[in-house]
């Protein structure tokens, strides 16, 4: 099969992306608890290229080089490993291959991810069946969707957080991105009053996804615009330290939550009066099933910015690295 592979960490991430190679490798065999998937689509997430630098090695070591990157996959089950009872050959599934499952707990033996290939191995217990859903409409869901859903409502791993509810005032920083576009819809559907930050050119876009108020982060300071408005939660998809320490305390009610998916700086603690949490998603079938159903019911739409052919996978990663996408960047096999 053909697989995109990275030989080694490289602090120069654009150079690392350029250096990816499309290689012929054996089709992997599913081992216990896993399935072999024939890949139809992948979706790109910033963590794909963030791992390239080696900067995450302390938390999420890539233990096998060369390795095939990519976490989000949509495809058809081709073979089933021992012990998998919920999936059968021919099932159409989506899955986030899992950062923790890849690198930590226990490592999947395939580096990190493995999606950007004609076939990949996935743990059977983190796949969601999508029935006859169009793959292009759901492949962007696993990593970004689980993140938005769990951070807003349930928490993940051992973290119990979120609990957004009707009437809550929620500010989403970065509403136009892959996670933000899903978070806007989920919070709005839950009856929250949703405000977001975006470029002026994307105002109509985020309004269509449920934002009631929009702040152009290029020329307005949301900490000043929303000061004193007693927000219940800020969902941070951007990761700036001043957003946490300087702006959030002006905007949140006392004890209001600042949940960040992008600020992993160990010095980030949050100022007095702000309940700060760094969040990491958990790849979980039951949560993903709920969101697949929302898509099927027309309650949630995964917005795709651009679809690249498999041969142009490095270009898809470069677009993600640019940080300006509106919704998801996809790869079609």
Ligand X SMILES: NC(=O)c1ccc[n+]([C@@H]2O[C@H](COP(=O)([O-])OP(=O)(O)OC[C@H]3O[C@@H](n4cnc5c(N)ncnc54)[C@H](OP(=O)(O)O)[C@@H]3O)[C@@H](O)[C@H]2O)c1
> Closest separation between CB of residue 218 and ligand X, Å?
8
CB of 217 to ligand X, least distance (A): 4
* 198 lies in the site for ligand X, by CB under 6 A: yes
- Identity of the residue, 28 or 69, whose beta carbon is nearer to ligand X in the bound complex: 69
CA distance linking residue 287 with residue 90, whole number of Å: 22
243 near 220, Cβ under 8 Å? Answer: no
Is position 128 an interface residue for ligand X (rule: CB under 6 A)? no
Q: How far is the CB of 92 from ligand X (least distance, A)?
A: 24
144 binds ligand X (CB under 6 A): yes
Pattern of binders to ligand X over 242-281, x per CB under 6 A?
Answer: -------------------xx----------------xxx
Q: How far is the CB of 174 from ligand X (least distance, A)?
A: 4
**Min separation Cβ 206 and ligand X, Å:** 9
Specify the residue for token string 């791992």: 51
For residue 320, the Cα-to-chain-centroid distance in whole angstroms is: 12
Between residues 96 and 168, which has the closer beta carbon with respect to ligand X?
Answer: 96
- Give the interface segment with ligand X, choosing from 171-179, 266-274, 291-299, 307-315 (CB under 6 A): 171-179
Q: Rounded to 5 degrees, what angle do the CA atoms 27, 29, 32 make?
A: 155
Smaller CB distance to ligand X: residue 110 or 325? 325
Asked if 326 is part of the footprint of ligand X (rule: CB under 6 A), the reply reads yes
Residue 202 found at the interface with ligand X (CB under 6 A): yes
Q: How far is CA 286 from CA 69, 95, 188, 293, 297, in A?
A: 25, 12, 21, 11, 17
End-to-end CA separation in angstroms for the chain:
12
Neighbours of 11 (CB within 10 A): 10
Q: Which of 3, 8, 196 is nearest to 116 (CA)?
A: 3
Choose between 144 and 244: whose C-beta lies nearer to ligand X: 144
Q: Which pair of tokens denotes residue 140?
A: 């962007």
CB 133 to ligand X: min, Å = 21
Q: How far is the CB of 52 from ligand X (least distance, A)?
A: 13
217 binds ligand X (CB under 6 A): yes
State the residue for tokens 């109509």.
204
CA dihedral (202, 326, 141, 293) in degrees, to 10, reads 30
* β-strand pairing of 119-123 with 34-44: antiparallel
User: What is the C-alpha separation between 175 and 324, in angstroms, rounded?
Assistant: 11
Residues 43-102 contacting ligand X, CB under 6 A: 45-47, 50
Told to check if 157 binds ligand X by CB under 6 A, we report: no
Least CB distance from residue 277 to ligand X, whole Å?
Answer: 11
x/- track of binding to ligand X for residues 283-322 (CB under 6 A): -------------------------------------x--
Task: Give min distance, CB of 23 to ligand X, in A.
Answer: 26
Residue closer to ligand X by CB (options 30, 326) is 326
Return the number of the residue (173 or 209) whose C-beta is nearest ligand X. Answer: 173
The Cα–Cα gap between 50 and 45 comes to 9
Cα gap 285→95, rounded to integer Å: 8
Element (H, E) at 117: none
Residue number with CB closer to ligand X (80 or 303): 303
Alpha carbons 175 and 199: distance in angstroms, whole number:
10
What Rg value do the Cα atoms of the chain yield, rounded? 19
Are 16 and 74 a contacting pair, CB within 8 Å?
A: no
Which spans of this chain sit near ligand X (rule: CB under 6 A)? 45-47, 50, 143-144, 147, 173-174, 176-180, 197-199, 202, 217, 237-239, 261-262, 279-281, 320, 323-326
């Amino acid at each position: 099969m053909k697989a995109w592979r990275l030989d080694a960490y490289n602090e120069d991430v654009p150079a690392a992306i350029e250096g990816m190679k499309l290689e012929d490798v054996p089709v992997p065999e599913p081992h216990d608890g896993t399935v072999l998937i024939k890949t139809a689509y992948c979706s790109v997430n910033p963590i794909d290229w963030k791992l390239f630098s080696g900067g995450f090695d302390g938390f999420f070591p890539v233990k096998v080089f060369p390795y095939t990157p990519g976490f989000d996959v949509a495809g058809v089950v081709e073979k089933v490993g021992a012990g998998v009872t919920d999936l059968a050959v021919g099932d159409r599934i989506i899955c986030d291959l899992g950062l923790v499952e890849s690198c930590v707990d226990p490592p999947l033996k395939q580096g990190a991810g493995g999606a950007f290939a004609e076939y990949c191995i996935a743990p059977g217990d983190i796949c969601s069946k999508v029935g006859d859903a169009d793959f292009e409409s759901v492949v962007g869901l696993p990593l970004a969707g689980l993140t938005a859903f769990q951070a807003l409502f349930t928490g993940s791993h051992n973290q119990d957080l979120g609990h957004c509810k009707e009437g809550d005032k929620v500010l989403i920083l970065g509403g136009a991105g892959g996670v933000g576009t899903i978070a806007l819809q989920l919070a709005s559907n839950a009856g929250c009053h949703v405000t977001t930050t975006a470029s002026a050119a994307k105002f109509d876009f985020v309004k269509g996804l449920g934002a009631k108020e929009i702040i152009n982060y290029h020329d307005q300071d949301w900490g000043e615009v929303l000061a004193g408005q007693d927000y219940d939660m800020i969902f941070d998809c951007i990761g700036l330290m001043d957003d946490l320490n300087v702006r959030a305390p002006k905007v949140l009610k006392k004890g209001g939550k600042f949940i960040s998916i992008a600020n992993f700086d160990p010095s980030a603690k949050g100022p007095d009066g702000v309940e700060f949490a760094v969040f990491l998603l958990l790849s979980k079938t039951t949560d993903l099933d709920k969101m697949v159903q929302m898509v099927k019911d027309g309650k949630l739409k995964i917005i795709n910015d651009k679809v690249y052919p498999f041969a142009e996978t490095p270009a898809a990663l470069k677009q993600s690295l640019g940080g300006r996408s509106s919704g998801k960047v996809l790869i079609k096999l």
